[in-house]
Amino acid sequence: MVCLSYKADKITHVKQFNDKKFERLYCGSVAWNGKLFLVGGRLNPKCGVQGLLVVDPSTGTCQPSDFVFPGAPRWRHATTLLGDYLVVVGGRDVDEVRDDVVALDLNTGTIISAQLDTPIFSCSACVWGKKILVSGGAPGLDRFKETLYVITIINNNIVVEKMELNLSPRFGHTSHVVRNHLLLVGGVGLRAAHQGLDAVNLISGEVVSARLPEVRLSARLTELRNSDNTGPEKLNGNPESTEKIELETVSSNMFMLHNHQSFIRDDVLFILGGGGNCYSFGTHINTPWRIDLKLSFPDILW
C-alpha cells in the first residue's frame, strides 16, 4: 500500500507499507474516521478476496473488520461513502456479474441492500450532495451501460432511480462532481481506445467534452534519509518508507486512461496509475498526470 501526501499543489511524500493482505486487484476503498476500508478484490480470476479490511494509513497496520460483508467475494465494483454508509455497487465474482447495491453502516454494522435493473461491473460512483451517482460500466464485455443511476438512502432504505442523460458509454473510468457537473474521466469506450474528459451538467443535461492535454507529470523519486541520520529508508526491506516526489512536465502521447484512480484538489485533476497488459507488447503503467480543469472547461465549470 502506498500513501501519498498532497500539499500546495504537490505530492510531497510517499509511504509504502508491505503486507500480504494488500495483495489484491480491483478492490474498493473508502476513508472514514481516520481509517481506510478495503472491500473485496481478487488474487486471480478464480480467487476473490472476502470480507472488509480496516487499515491505519499512518502505520500500515491492518486487520479484518468485525462487520461481516455479505455475499461472495467480488471485484471491479464501485465503492463510495455516503454519510456513515459504505456503499458498494455491482461488480463481479467468479460466476457472475452482480446486480446489487449494498450499504454497510460503519457505526452499527447494519446492512441494507437493493437491486439494480441489470448486472453491472467496472462502473464508477461519486457523491452529489446526499446522492450517489453511478455511471458507465458493463453488464458484459460486449455491452456498455449509458444509464446514470441515482442512489439515495432514505429511512434506512436504499432507493435506486435513473437519470436519462446523453452519456458516452464507457467502463473502467473514474468520476467526480464539480459545481453541479459530473466529470467523467477516461475509461474504455465503444468507438475509441479510451475516452477523454466529459463534463455533464446535472441540471440541464448538457454534455461538454475536452481532449486530454499533451503533457503529463513524470515522477522522480528521491530517497530521504531518516531523521536520525542512520541511513536511507528503502522501499523493499523497511515496511515503511518515506520519499519525495519531484514533478516535472514532459511531452508524451503514451497514455492509457483506464484502471486508473483520480482526485481533484484546488481545481486540478490528478490521475494516478492506470494502464494495462498486452501479450504482444508487455505492460504499460502510466506516470502521474496533472490537468488544470479551468483550462479544460473554461466556460462551464468556472
Residue 227 has pLDDT above 60, yes or no: no
Per-residue pLDDT at 254: 58
Is 264 inside any structural domain? no
Residue type, 126: C
Is 92 inside any structural domain? yes
pLDDT tens digits, 49-106 = 988 999 999 899 999 999 988 888 999 999 999 999 999 999 999 999 999 999 999 9
Are the beta carbons of 149 and 116 closer than 8 angstroms? yes
Question: The cell 473488520 sits on which residue?
Answer: 65
Residue 107 has pLDDT above 50, yes or no: yes
Is 191 inside any structural domain? no
Domain of 81, CATH number, reads 2.120.10.80
Is 127 inside any structural domain? yes
Question: The cell 446486480 sits on which residue?
Answer: 99
Nearby residues of 174 by Cβ (< 8 Å), 6 or more positions away:
124, 185, 186, 187, 260, 261, 262
Residues present in the chain in total: 302
Are the beta carbons of 48 and 76 closer than 8 angstroms? no
Is 197 inside any structural domain? no
Mean pLDDT, residues 110-129: 95
- Could you tell me the residue range of the domain that residue 67 belongs to? 14-164
Per-residue pLDDT at 196: 80
Is 289 inside any structural domain? no
Is 277 inside any structural domain? no
- Higher-pLDDT residue of 290 and 43 is 43
Is 5 inside any structural domain? no
Pairing of strands 124-128, 207-210: unpaired
Which residues pair with residue 120 across a beta bridge?
none
How many domains does the chain fold into?
1
